[in-house]
Amino acid sequence: MSQPTPRTRERRQYVRFAFYRVDPAWRRLPAQARSDAREEFKEQIDRWAQRILLRTYSTLGTRGDCDFMIWQVSEQLNDFQDLASDICSSDLGAYLETAYSYLSMTKHSTYVSEHTHPDQEGTRLLVAPGNARYLFVYPFVKTRAWYTLPYPERQRMMNAHIAMGHKYPTVKINTTYSFGLDDQEFVLAFETDFPGDFLDLVQELRETEASSFTLRDTPIFTCVLTPIREILDSLCREERARVPV
């Protein structure tokens, strides 16, 4: 009996944006226990970074409901399960809550046929994060009315939408797709060193015709690229001895 094969043989990736919140009880642990937990967690993340594409970001001070995010990319979905299991089994994991989690995949956009350029968003099947300091992430859902429009009408609106994005070369967009995999339809991740450029881009995109077919594009996360050790240190800085005045 022949084995079933996927409809497409294109090399595609799974993508997960996992946001974590640290229980305040962790900050009340003895300093040595916190130090040991930080070191264990760092070594764990470093090992996984050799196995899959992995980036860590701080959301401390930019969100009130989570402390850091791990951007994970792999061609094997079970890698995310194994990583999640390792995190849960760690000493720090006992004090971590998954505040948000977004699962998606790469695929070719059906609307990117014009306005293309090298490494054009929508044509890539492999996620290739840059080294921009800031990452803006949000889930995205369109209205059902959008999908009932004739394709040429949708393409016309998306052409204007894409052209608007090209006005901001300092902002790189990574679009991944969640149809049937998670609650949202897309997950958008924008990389930039200039948050103001991203703000202006989003404001202009709100004025496009295609934007009127947006059902939901929140919550939005402002993430700062940060090594995992610095993230963990920032969550509970050890007290320094006070120098007498």
* Start-end of H helices in the chain: 31-49, 78-89, 144-148, 151-165, 195-206, 228-235
What pLDDT, on the 0 to 100 scale, is given for residue 1?
57
Helix, strand or coil, per DSSP, at residue 194: coil
DSSP state of 184: S
- Where in the chain are the domains? 14-235
User: What are the residues facing 69 on neighbouring strands?
Assistant: 19, 57
Residue 228: which of 47, 25, 7 has the closest Cα? Answer: 47
Residue 83: which of 58, 49, 40, 57 has the closest Cα? Answer: 49
pLDDT digits (tens, 9 = 90+) for 179-216: 999 999 999 999 999 999 999 999 999 999 999 999 99
Q: What is the pTM of this model?
A: 0.89
* Distance separating alpha carbons of residues 217 and 58, to the nearest angstrom: 21
Decide if 54 contacts 70 (C-beta within 8 A): yes
Q: Which of 20-24, 87-91, 115-119 has the lowest mean pLDDT?
A: 115-119
119, pLDDT greater than 70 = no
232, pLDDT greater than 90 = yes
Query: Which residues lie below 8 Å from residue 32, measured CB to CB, with a gap of 6+?
Result: none
Pick the CATH number of 14-235 from 3.50.40.10, 3.40.50.170, 3.40.1230.10, 3.30.70.1030: 3.30.70.1030
Decide if 83 contacts 32 (C-beta within 8 A): no
Mean pLDDT of the chain: 91
Phi, psi dihedrals of residue 102, rounded to the nearest 5° = -125, 125
Residue 76: which of 18, 14, 4, 7 has the closest Cα? Answer: 14
DSSP state of 51: T
What pLDDT, on the 0 to 100 scale, is given for residue 242?
45
Tokens 């090209």 locate to: 166
Helix, strand or coil, per DSSP, at residue 213: helix
